[in-house]
Amino acid sequence: MLTASETGVSTPVVLESAAELSAGLDGARSRGATVGFVPTMGALHAGHSSLIERARAECYVVAVSVFVNPSQFNDPADLESYPRDPQRDIQVAISAGADFVFMPNVLEMYPAGSETVLEVPSLSRILEGASRPGHFSSVATVVSKLFAIAGRCTAYFGEKDFQQLQVIKRMATDLKFPVEVAGCATVREEDGLAMSSRNTRLSPDERYAAAVLYHALLQGKERVEAGERDPVKVEAAMANVVSTEPLAQLEYAVAVEPVSLNSPTTLTGEVRLLVAARFGNVRLIDNIGVMADLGNEQVHDSGTNDADLGNFLESSHPQFNNNTRERHQS
């Protein structure tokens, strides 16, 4: 096992230069160190910390990037309102185990005259891509730049942005980057809401309501585990749960194959359940995985009626009792 002095990194370093980060990581690798890399857009929370901590546990040297990529935002107001606290981000990253914190400005990542863009067409124009045109092209482009800067490493991404994870995996494979892309489990609040920087923009009522996304996913998961193999019925079950929350405006609830993100005619093997909804001006996404094992198919009709739905919500998820469902109607 290498010591800190043997890797060439004894104290955490904050850098703005891509060349300096590359040199630092190359130097560590030349001494036999493995590198873990955690790309972020800042506003670090416990979910990001868990990525950094995993990188710390698996690699000798850990680098974290903090860059709010302007090209990922379709709405200028969304970019303007995106939370930024660079000093806190530095503290969180270092506390979680970062050796390098890379905080480039826009010109460092997009020098004057930059025009190259990347796209993974089959994964970038559906689901999130349908409502955010060009978003995943921007993600693939900036992450490719970060991978080129970081060099050989293991890069850690949260599964909360599952479609993004699949886009990045495909891009890294297609372009033969010397990068292993590792997906990490979603970190959740006590009520199940996936941690996200966007959660801070929710009003108290919206924040309370947003937990309905996770409960919808749990309903879909329970349907699959009970033997339902019709994706349409699983999707309807999830949508029905979201419909119990007046503050939620559902955009999609789908059951897909996890690599292609295509909707199968019959659910088999590993399945990914994904939902997206708006709560006021804030758009949230979430997902969970489930196995549709062969031999456990459900042969009877599994349509969800209102009574079944109410019983499920009240027995399995106490947040959704009658008082909760009537909260916004009183």
Contact 211, 193 (CB under 8 A): yes
SS3 237: helix
Within 8 A by CB and 6+ apart from 239, the residues are 216, 250, 253
Of 68, 111, 97, give the one whose Cα is nearest residue 9. 97
pLDDT digits (tens, 9 = 90+) for 144-163: 999 999 999 999 999 999 99
User: pTM (2 decimals)?
Assistant: 0.87
How many Å separate Cα 233 from the centre of its chain?
25
Within 8 A by CB and 6+ apart from 119, the residues are 136, 137, 140
Within 8 A by CB and 6+ apart from 144, the residues are 118, 171, 175, 177
Contact 250, 275 (CB under 8 A): yes
Q: Which two tokens stand for residue 299?
A: 């042969």
SS3 190: coil
Contact 21, 149 (CB under 8 A): yes
Would you state the pLDDT for residue 324?
43
Of 182, 21, 196, give the one whose Cα is nearest residue 109. 21
Would you state the pLDDT for residue 75?
79
Would you state the pLDDT for residue 81?
78
Contact 62, 36 (CB under 8 A): yes
Of 247, 329, 317, give the one whose Cα is nearest residue 283. 247
With a cut of 70, say whether residue 2 has pLDDT above it. Answer: no
pLDDT digits (tens, 9 = 90+) for 34-49: 999 999 999 999 999 9
Contact 274, 287 (CB under 8 A): yes
Residue with tokens 């040297």: 61
CA distance 205 to 317: 18
SS3 267: coil
Contact 128, 256 (CB under 8 A): no
- Kindly list the structural domains of the chain, giving each domain's residue range(s) and its CATH number in brackets, ordered by start: 4-184 (3.40.50.620), 197-325 (3.30.1300.10)
SS3 236: helix
Instruction: Give the residue numbers annotated as catalytic, written as ranges.
Output: 48
pLDDT digits (tens, 9 = 90+) for 235-274: 999 999 999 999 999 999 999 999 999 999 999 999 999 9
The torsion of the CA quartet 64, 66, 70, 73, rounded to 10 degrees, works out to: 80
Burial pattern 15-51, b for ≥16 Cβ within 10 A else e, equals: beebeebbebbeebbeeebbbbbbbbbbbbbebbbbb
314 strand-pairing partners: none
Contact 229, 292 (CB under 8 A): yes
Element (H, E) at 208: helix 204-209
Q: Confidence class of residue 329 from pLDDT cuts 50, 70 and 90? A: very low
Pairing of strands 61-66, 100-102: parallel
DSSP state of 178: S
pLDDT digits (tens, 9 = 90+) for 288-318: 999 998 765 554 333 444 444 555 455 545 5
CA distance 29 to 37: 13
Q: Which two tokens stand for residue 189?
A: 């609040």
